[in-house]
Amino acid sequence: MSAAAIVRGRAWVGDTALFAPVDLELGTTGWTCLLGPSGVGKSTILRLIAGLETGARFEGRVETNRPVALMAQDPGLIGWLDVTGNVTLGARLRGENPDPARAETLIKAVGLADRAHHLPSNLSGGQRQRVALARTLFEDRPLVLLDEPFSALDARTRAQMQDLSAHLLDGRTVLLVTHDPAEAARLGDRIVLLREDGLTEWSVPTRRPDAAARPYDAPEVLALQADLMRGMMA
C-alpha cells in the first residue's frame, strides 16, 4: 500500500445513511483539508482512520500503514496534570522518558511558555486547544489527524498556529478537518468537501510552499477561499 491511509465505504447512524460511499486516499505527504456541513461525518472519518470507536456503523475498508496522532475536537486534557504533563502524556503512558527540552520548545512555540506549570482549569479555551496541539506535535507521528485544531483561537493566533503546524508537520501526511475556507485555502495541498452525497475534490490552483502555509492575504488564497465559500453555499 503506497498511500498513508485509505477510507472506502459508507456509514450509517441507526438506519440513516451518514454519507454516500466515500473513497479517500491520503498520500505519503501533504495536507488534505476536509470541509463539510456539521454532522455530515468528518470526525467519523478521522476516528475510523485512527482506529477508534465511532457512533456510526461503517461498511467498507479502512487501512493505515503508519503510526497516527489524532487531535480531537475536545482537547481532552488531564485535569490534574500541568501543561508540560499533558504535552508529554502520550510518551509517559508508553513508558518512555519524554525529552523535557523538546516539550519546552513546543510549549514555547504554541505561546504558552509562561503557562507550562498551569493546570488546564487555569487556562482559557484557546490556551487549552494549544496544549492539545503541542501534545499532538510532540507525538511526532508521520500521519496526523487534526479535527478543527484552531477553532478556539483568535484570528492572529490561529494564523500563527497554522504557520507553526505547516512548518513542523512538513513531510508528514496531515488530514485537517476545518469549517474555515480561509484555513483550507492556506493549508490544503488537497481540499475535499464531504456532503451527504459523498466527497468532492476541490481544485487547488497553486502549490503550497514547502514547510509553510500560503500567505493569508495573497490574491490566489483569497480567491480560493471565496471559491470554496461559494461551493459550500451551493
Ligand X SMILES: Nc1ncnc2c1ncn2[C@@H]1O[C@H](COP(=O)(O)OP(=O)(O)OP(=O)(O)O)[C@@H](O)[C@H]1O
Of the candidate spans 32-40, 88-96, 133-141, 162-170, the one that interacts with ligand X by CB under 6 A turns out to be 32-40
Closest CA to 137 of 90, 186, 77: 90
Whichever of 29 and 151 has its CB closer to ligand X, that residue is 151
Given the complex with ligand X, which of 57 and 92 has the nearer CB atom? 57
Per residue, what are the HEC states of the chain? CCCCEEEEEEEEECCEEEEEEEEEEECCCEEEEEECCCCCCHHHHHHHHHCCCCCCEEEEEEEECCCEEEECCCCCCCCCCCHHHHHCHHHHHCCCCCCHHHHHHHHHHCCCHHHCCCCHHHCCHHHHHHHHHHHHHHHCCCEEEEECCCCCCCHHHHHHHHHHHHHHCCCCEEEEECCCHHHHHHHCCEEEEEECCEEEEECCCCCCCCCCCCCCCCHHHHHHHHHHHHHHHC
Smallest separation (angstroms) from ligand X to the CB of 94: 26
CB of 13 to ligand X, least distance (A): 5
Residues 9-28 close enough to bind ligand X by CB under 6 A: 13, 18
CA angle 168, 47, 55 (to 5 degrees): 155
Residues from 46 through 105 that contact ligand X (CB under 6 A): 55-56
| Binding test (CB under 6 A) with ligand X, winner from 2, 15, 38, 79 | 38
- In the shown chain, the binding pattern of residues 122 to 161 toward ligand X, with x for contact by CB under 6 A and - for none, equals ----------------------------------------
Under rule CB under 6 A, residue 119 binds ligand X: no
Residue 2 near ligand X by CB under 6 A: no
Of 38-46, 133-141, 183-191, 203-211, which part binds ligand X (CB under 6 A)? 38-46
Please pick, from the candidates 5, 24, 26, 42, the single residue that binds ligand X as defined by CB under 6 A.
42
Site membership for ligand X, residue 39 (CB under 6 A): yes
Smallest gap from residue 44 Cβ to ligand X (A): 3
Which residues of this chain interact with ligand X, rule CB under 6 A? Answer: 13, 18, 36, 38-44, 55-56
